[in-house]
Amino acid sequence: AQVEMNAATGEAKLSIPKVDLQQHAGTVTCRLENPHGIQEETARLDILAAPL
């Protein structure tokens, strides 16, 4: 997986090249750390179909 971070907007993008329906679906945890603390969030990633 590849993560791109936009420092100006604070947005992050997760890209999964050659996604596999079985291997990549499931729980994804995003953890951010800086001098002020740690924030962690978990989400379920559903992959309905591989890209064309």
- pLDDT at position 16: 85
Quick: pLDDT tens for 1-52. 788 989 899 898 888 888 888 888 899 998 989 999 999 999 998 888 766 7
- pLDDT at position 50: 67
Alpha carbon distance 18, 6 (integer Å): 23
- pLDDT at position 27: 93
